[in-house]
Structure 1
């Protein structure tokens, strides 16, 4: 038997996934340092925007880094969100808002990772004999 074919790291989809990953991180960073009037309002809730931004970013990160452990991806995004929250606080933000921003970011991270974790858990079980 031959080994299953793997997708090359230089394939079009792999390159696009890494570009999407980079663009999501850049967009989140720029949105966090830009004045409020300059950032687009996509949802009614500011916290829902944080949740959605990190949900999309983690999905892009999972596609861009398929071999990286999930814990490392999660910790990287949570650290990135923490840095942005501290930056918000240092720039004169209210501490409660900075904490709530981080919680919304962390919720987006966990929501994006949960289907992957559940699928890996399901793979631990052998199929039932017919």
Structure 2
């Protein structure tokens, strides 16, 4: 055993070291994720007249809601496999859209809403998946061909 200097944990926000589970950003990510889920659920069950319209397209609102929820899910659960997070968000979207069927809604508009939800999910996951793919290739050293 060597008696070197003690290992110092990198607690900076954007460093390469380990970030603590109880760090302020980790806690904020979990709260933001729960807040996004709650906002989506409340919006689904409120009458349309009480829901503020943020953009002109209903489908863009679905896209944006699930984009934000998926980003917060990725931040809130850094050790959870991407596939599990994705399946959980897809299941959440399916269940929410299915609740409209209970009130007698037509299925095809719900499918369109769900497709918009999945677009937001895909847009949030794409950069993460591409970055993981890129990490699989070793960096070339200077001077190497």
Q: TM-score range by the shorter chain?
A: over 0.9
Rounded Cα–Cα distance in structure 1 between residues aligned with 2:133 and 2:8: 25
Cα distance between partner residues in 1 of 2:39 and 2:33: 10
Matches within 5 A, 1:1-130: 2=7, 5=10, 6-130=18-142
Runs of 4 or more, structure 1, over 2 Å off, are 1-5
Deviation at 1:92, TM superposition (A): 2.0
Number of positions where the alignment pairs a residue of Structure 1 with one of Structure 2: 130
Please, which runs of 5 or more residues in structure 1 have no aligned partner? none
CA distance, structure 1, for counterparts of residue 36 and residue 128 of structure 2: 20
Q: 1:44 to 1:122 in 2, by over 3 A?
A: same
Give TM-score scaled by structure 1 length.
Answer: 0.95
* SS at structure 2 position matched to 1:98: helix
With the length of structure 2 as denominator, give the TM-score of the two structures. 0.85
Distance in 1 between the 2:65 and 2:47 partners?
Answer: 17
Aligned counterparts of 1:44 and 1:102: Cα–Cα separation in 2 = 18
- Aligned partners of 1:115 and 1:22: how far apart in 2? 22
Structure 2 unmatched runs, 5+: 11-17
